[in-house]
Amino acid sequence: MQIIILLFMLSFFASPHEASAAGFDCNKATTKIEKTICKDPYLSEADERLSVLYKLALNKTKDKESLVQSQKKWLKRRNAENFSEYLLKSYKDRILELDDPIIIPISSIQSSGEGFLKRNDIERVDISDCRVSESGIIGGIDNRTFHFALYCIIPDFASEEGNCNTTSRNAVHYGKRGLSVFVQDGTSKELKLILDRGSFDIGLYTYHKPEIVPNAFGKFLYIPIELDGTGHGNESDYYIWDNELRGWKPLNSTRWLEDLSKYLPPGTFVGSGVWPNILSMTAEIYLSRKNDPNCCPSGGIALVKLKVKDDRFQIDSVKINKN
């Protein structure tokens, strides 16, 4: 029986004990990552669910050593994350790996909206319309073809007018509020879900069609995700193809921005969303100074070359062009 991820909103009046249902004793939390998980009800619930699935998987598998090693690698990647949103994505990906696989016929991808809502803890009673707004093939590697579905989701709010019909004036605006990625093995008529991206904060994130991008470091699965706001925040996900695993391996795509601070001129900072060019592995970053308006950074431009090492983006070189 498919175990469904349940990440529910806890009351603002919940006690610290009620808000900490992690897969470990939060009263004994000592590390930064453990404390972060215990403070966040969504992460706490995800950690508890993953703990259950991991124990079930250990009992079922014939290759316990491989499973243990894969869990250790995942924990290492998890511990390198700094933000709750990225942590939650990492948990959702690992839960999909350990849970019973979600399989759908290719012919039913257009009707996969209801399943998406359930998997991402979006209450159906709060939704006035949900449909697949766009679907298709991302690309192929070896004998595997990767498909995607974008979802139009309209909450039952007075401010949200219209529906997901493609002729609706607001359909395009509403049509990028969720994303799933599936894999097709060979000529199979079925698709296996490998990635879900959705949020109960509907409209906070805009999801775009994924791309497979080859460059000097390998083949990348690029999941463009934009955070709503004037800064066009980049919440995208990046994966690199692992030939040994025959699958996608997640990359930490944010730590290099922390490292960038030591290259910047005094008094300047990165003031808006940074969107690296994955094909060229470069980033052009406009630098801000204190009191600069969002429209007009005055601190010059940082031209950054990136590389991939130790499962993350790293800085290869930085050139500063001053205004």
pTM for the structure as a whole: 0.86
Position 131 in a domain: yes
pLDDT at 286 over 90: yes
pLDDT for res 201: 85
What percentage of the chain has pLDDT greater than the value 90?
63
Largest Cα–Cα distance of the chain, in whole Å?
62
From 54, 82, 98, give the residue that closes a domain.
Answer: 98
From 44, 75, 98, give the residue that closes a domain.
Answer: 98
pLDDT for res 29: 83
Q: Same structural domain for residues 274 and 308?
A: yes
Place of tokens 């009620």: 18
pLDDT for res 200: 80
Position 223 in a domain: no
Position 127 in a domain: yes
Q: Same structural domain for residues 120 and 86?
A: no
C-alpha 285 chain-centroid distance: 23
What is the distance in angstroms between the CA of the first residue and the CA of the last residue of the chain? Answer: 61
The domain in which residue 186 lies consists of: 103-209
Q: Same structural domain for residues 48 and 124?
A: no
Which pLDDT tens digit goes with each residue over 219-276?
Answer: 999 999 999 876 678 999 999 999 988 899 999 998 899 999 999 999 999 987 899 9
Q: What is the CA radius of gyration of the chain?
A: 21
pLDDT for res 158: 67
pLDDT at 300 over 90: yes
Alpha helices (runs of H) in 40-189, residue ranges in sequence order:
41-60, 64-79, 84-98, 113-119, 171-174
Number of domains comprising the chain:
3
pLDDT for res 161: 74
pLDDT for res 55: 95
Position 272 in a domain: yes
Mention every residue, 6+ apart, whose C-beta is less than 8 A from residue 142: 246
Q: Same structural domain for residues 94 and 109?
A: no
Which pLDDT tens digit goes with each residue over 26-40?
Answer: 888 888 888 889 988
